Amino acid sequence: MQVPFFRHSLDAGDANKIAAVLATPFLTSAGVGKEVERQLAEYFSVPHALLVNSWTNGAVATLLALGVGPGDEVIVPAMTFIATANVVELLGAKAVIVDVEPDTQLIGFEAVRRALTPRTRCVVPVHLYGAMVDVAALRREALSDRPDVAILEDAAHCFEGRLNGDRPGAHSDAAVFSFYATKNVTCGEGGAIVTRRDDLRDALVQTRLHGMSAGAADRFNAGRYRHWDMARLGAKANLPDLLAALLPDQIRDVEAQLAKREDLIQRYKQGIASPAVRWPAEPAGGVHARHLAVIHVPGAARDEALEILSAAGIGATVNYRAIHTLTYYKDKYGYAPDDFPTARAWGDGAISLPLFPSLTRVEQDYVIQVVNERIAPLAEAAAVAAAA
Ligand SMILES: *Cc1c(COP(=O)(O)O)cnc(C)c1O
C-alpha cells in the first residue's frame, strides 16, 4: 500500500474560483483577497488581517514594519523550520537561537530571558506542530522589563489553535500564517499577517508592497491617476487574487477539518504502543491545531526508521533537525550540536507520519502496523543500547 505524507483537498471545482478571478480586469490583489482579509480578521478576532504570498515574505514585511535591520537581534527557537530564522538573517539582523523545553519542544522562556541583550528587538515564538506557546506568559515571564521587544508569532502550524480561549494574534504584535502547499489551509503558496496594532497595520500596507504609499489597484480605482510616494523600504509580499480565491471555503470549513485531524491523532496515539516511541507533551488549556503528527525515537534508530517507512510505501519526513546543526548557522555562529541539547535530541529522533483529513482508516491502520511491527522494536533496541 502507498500512503502519501500529504494529500490536499483542492479539486476541479476549485478551478471555477480561479476562472471567476480571470473574468475580472485586475488579476492581482483587489477583490476576493479583501474579502478573505475580512474573513480572517473575524476568525482571529483582530482588527487587521493582511494576505501575503508566503509566511516568509509576510515575516520579512513584518520585521521591516517593526524596523528590524542590521545590528539588531531577533530571538528564535532551535526547533523550527529554517524560515523562522532566515527572515531575520535576510534583513541583515542576527537570528539568536535559543533552546526549547524538553516536554513540549516549544521555546523556553528562561532561555529567552538569558538571550536578551540591548540589541534585542523581537522574539519569534513558534507554535510547533500546532501546539500554542503561551504568548501572554512569554511577555509576562521573559519580557516584563522589556516593553521595547516585539513578539512576532510564527503561526505557520497553527491556524486553528487556541490557548485559554485566545487565538494567535491576541497577545503579540503580530502573528504570521502560511498557506503553503502542505499547511492546514492552503492555496499552494500564500500566507497572512494578523495584528491588533493600527500603526503596524499602516506600516504593513507599505512593507507588503514595495514600500508604496498606495496599492496598485487603489492607484487606478480613484478614476484619475494619483502619484504615490515611497517613504520606507518594502518587500513584494502581496497575495494575488488568483490564489486568494481558493481560501474562503477552506476557512469556513476549517473547524470541521480540524475535528478529523484530531480524530486521526487520537487513533495514532492509541494505536502506537511502545515505550520507545514518544509524542511531544501538549500545553494544557489549549486547542491543538494538529498540523503535524510527529513521533520521536532514539536518535540511533531514526534514519533506519525513515528507510523502513519509505520502503513500506509510507510518506514520512522530519520536522525538524535543529536549525543550529545546519551548515549555514553552524558555520556562521560556530555552534556545536549540544549548544541547544533539547532541540538537537528532538531533531535527531523526530519522524513525521502522514496526517491529513482524507487519510482513511485503512491507510492509517497500515501506518500504525508498520510502526508497531518494524519501527518500535528498532526504537526499543536503540533505547536499551543508549541506556547501557
Ligand atoms: C511552512 C513554515 C514556514 C514558511 O512558510 P512559507 O509560507 O513556505 O514561507 C515558516 N515557519 C514554519 C514553522 C513553517 O512550518
Percent of the chain with pLDDT over 70: 97
Q: How far apart are CA 74 and CA 359, in angstroms?
A: 38
Q: Is the pLDDT of residue 217 over 70?
A: no
User: Span 348-352, mean pLDDT?
Assistant: 98
Q: Is the pLDDT of residue 185 over 90?
A: yes
Confidence tier at 225 by pLDDT (50, 70, 90):
confident
Ligand 1 pocket residue status of 154, Cβ below 6 Å: yes
Q: How far apart are CA 13 and CA 18, in angstroms?
A: 10
Q: Whose CA is nearest to atom 2 of ligand 1?
A: 156
Instruction: Determine the atom of ligand 1 nearest the C-alpha atom of 189.
Output: 7
Q: How far apart are CA 44 and CA 380, in angstroms?
A: 43
Ligand 1 pocket residue status of 156, Cβ below 6 Å: yes
- pLDDT confidence of residue 221: 62
| Residue 79 contacts residue 128 (beta carbons within 8 Å) | yes
| Residue 133 contacts residue 126 (beta carbons within 8 Å) | yes
Name the average pLDDT for the chain.
Answer: 96
Ligand 1 pocket residue status of 201, Cβ below 6 Å: no
Q: Is the pLDDT of residue 378 over 80?
A: yes
pLDDT (tens digit, 9 = 90+) per residue, 237-259? Answer: 999 999 999 999 999 999 999 99
- pLDDT confidence of residue 91: 98
- pLDDT confidence of residue 279: 98
Grid cell of 270 as nine digits: 492509541
What is the amino acid identity at position 352? S
Q: Is the pLDDT of residue 216 over 80?
A: no
- pLDDT confidence of residue 116: 98
Instruction: Determine the atom of ligand 1 nearest the C-alpha atom of 56.
Output: 9
- pLDDT confidence of residue 165: 95
Q: Is the pLDDT of residue 154 over 80?
A: yes
pLDDT higher for 26 or 337?
Answer: 337
User: Span 60-77, mean pLDDT?
Assistant: 98
Confidence tier at 226 by pLDDT (50, 70, 90):
confident
Confidence tier at 222 by pLDDT (50, 70, 90):
low
- Selection from 6, 1, 23 nearest residue 245 by Cα: 23
User: Span 221-228, mean pLDDT?
Assistant: 76
CB atoms within 10 A of CB 132: 28
Q: Among 20-29, 150-159, 215-224, 345-354, where is mean pLDDT lowest?
A: 215-224
Confidence tier at 220 by pLDDT (50, 70, 90):
low
Q: Crossing angle, helix 361-370 and helix 254-271, to 10 degrees?
A: 30
The rounded Å distance from CA 155 to ligand 1 centre is 9
pLDDT (tens digit, 9 = 90+) per residue, 98-128? Answer: 999 999 999 999 999 999 999 999 999 999 9
Q: Whose CA is nearest to atom 8 of ligand 1?
A: 180
Q: How far apart are CA 141 and CA 27, in angstroms?
A: 46
The rounded Å distance from CA 122 to ligand 1 centre is 18
Q: Is the pTM of this model over 0.85?
A: yes
- pLDDT confidence of residue 198: 98
CB atoms within 10 A of CB 330: 15
Instruction: Supply the residues annotated as catalytic.
Output: 183
| Residue 306 contacts residue 321 (beta carbons within 8 Å) | no
The rounded Å distance from CA 222 to ligand 1 centre is 36
pLDDT higher for 28 or 340?
Answer: 340
| Residue 1 contacts residue 353 (beta carbons within 8 Å) | no
Choose the residue to mutate in 6, 53, 56, 317 for probing ligand 1, maximizing ligand atoms within 8 Å of C-beta: 56
**Half-sphere exposure in the Cβ direction for 115 (13 Å, CA):** 27
Q: Is the pLDDT of residue 223 over 90?
A: no
3-class secondary structure for the chain? CCECCCCCCCCHHHHHHHHHHHCCCCCCCCCHHHHHHHHHHHHCCCCEEEEECCHHHHHHHHHHHCCCCCCCEEEEECCCCCHHHHHHHHCCCEEEEECECCCCCCECHHHHHHHCCCCEEEECCECHHHCCCCHHHHHHHHCCCCCCCEEEEECCCCCCCEECCECCCCCCCEEEEECCCCCCCCCCCCEEEEECCHHHHHHHHHHCECCECCCHHHHHHCCCCCCCCECCCCCECCCCHHHHCCCHHHHHCHHHHHHHHHHHHHHHHHHCCCCCCECCCCCCCEECCCCCEEEECCHHHHHHHHHHHHHCCECCECCCCCHHHCHHHHHHHCCCHHHCHHHHHHHHHEEEECCCCCCCHHHHHHHHHHHHHHHHHHHHHHHHHHHC
Confidence tier at 30 by pLDDT (50, 70, 90):
confident
